[in-house]
Amino acid sequence: MTGRPDVSAVRLLRYGLHGVFTVLLAVALVGASGSWVALSGGVALGVVYAMGLTLGGRRTASAVWLVAVVLIWTALVLISVSFVWLAFPLFFLCLHLLPPRAGVLAVLALTGIAVGVPAVREGSLQPAQVIGPGIGALVAILTVTGYAALYRESERRRALIDELTRTRAELAETQHEAGVLAERQRLAREIHDTLAQGLSSIVLLLRAAPQDPAGYVGEAMRAAEDNLAEARRFVHALAPPGLDGSLEEALRRLCSGQGATFHLDGEPYTLPRRAEIALFRIAQGGLANVTRHARASKAALTLTYMEDEVAMDIVDDGRGFDPPTRAGNGLGFIRARAAELGGTVTVESAPGLGTALAVTLPTS
């Protein structure tokens, strides 16, 4: 009967409203038991009301249904005052299904019916006949207005959290891109100042070789040897200091230094150098997060070799967190590093339940 988000609190209020209507209808039927017309009308009202529970979020159908319920109720009030108190759940229905201003006008109209019809039937107007429906209408309006304000505040906070999450992700991406650009510039300078200059010297020496083959060729060979040594030093400098041997040995040493347990699954095979460096850096970042934030008593890193991909899992029993609301730079860098190689990152965590970080990289 509504297009609002179907959250637990709303469902609870809806069930409570249906329950109140059912109870008040039963009381009214008992009070009108002496009139077959009133009893038949009350049963018809219950059937029509129950039909409305199947309308879902169709606003036009819900509005037509509400009009039918109110008309039947008005006719019943004219027959028996026992049905007057059904106005209270009808107040909430009007405020729930109609636009705010129309809902308030409908509540006022129902209050007038609930007060006026018994007064006309009995020929007098008692204070209780006004106070009861009036307080009910006031409570309904204040309750729905308060809920609407809370709902708007909740939506505003959710939008702020979404914006903060997007901003953090954009910041992490920007910092990553800036780091990649700075590293490319550094590599360009290194290549220009070492390898490119050495190769230029070799070319010049070989061009002058016809004038003095033995001398210039010898110098070119020495320059090539120096350039090869420089290239090896350059490549070695690109690898993390802890990744001197195999990836398994490097991860085992890293886990030992961080107080974590290392596990190896599958038969190790040679990975692309970029994949080894990425996994090692991700392991450093993941274990650093465990040390700084998790307050864990146990942590384990598992490296798994599969046919076409390699996986790494870091699991701890720390305090955990809520991943959608905390997208820090550390996780952003891990995701970006894995994405560069076509990999995926999955984070499973909840407050008080530890954290599991799973990284998968293709090997072909």
Q: What is the pLDDT of residues 3-27, one digit of tens each?
A: 444 455 667 777 778 888 888 888 8
Under DSSP, is residue 251 helix (H, G, I), strand (E, B) or coil? helix
Is the model's pLDDT at 318 over the cut of 70? Answer: yes
- What does the pLDDT read at residue 329? 56
Beta-ladder partners of 309: 362
Under DSSP, is residue 53 helix (H, G, I), strand (E, B) or coil? coil
> In which residue are the tokens 């870091």 written?
314
- Edge-to-edge strand list for the sheet holding 309-316: 261-265, 299-305, 309-316, 355-362, 344-349
Length of the chain: 364
The tens digit of pLDDT for each residue in 159-191 reads 888 888 888 878 878 877 887 787 777 677 667
Is the model's pLDDT at 197 over the cut of 70? Answer: no
Look up residue 25 and give its two tokens: 């209808």
Cα gap 120→76, rounded to integer Å: 14
Whole-number Cα distances in Å, 61 to 51, 54, 67, 357? 11, 10, 10, 48
The tens digit of pLDDT for each residue in 200-213 reads 778 877 888 888 77
Query: What are the helix (H) ranges across 80-126?
Result: 87-97, 100-122
331's CB contacts (< 8 A; 6+ apart) are 172, 289, 345, 347
Give the orientation angle of helix 8-31 with respect to helix 87-97, to 10 degrees. 150
Look up residue 343 and give its two tokens: 């990999």
Is the model's pLDDT at 217 over the cut of 80? Answer: yes
The tens digit of pLDDT for each residue in 102-123 reads 888 988 888 888 888 777 776 6
Cα gap 45→297, rounded to integer Å: 63
Least confident span in 37-41, 85-89, 250-254, 323-327:
323-327
CA 261 to chain centre: 31
Under DSSP, is residue 343 helix (H, G, I), strand (E, B) or coil? coil
Query: What is the DSSP-derived secondary structure letter of residue 56?
Result: T
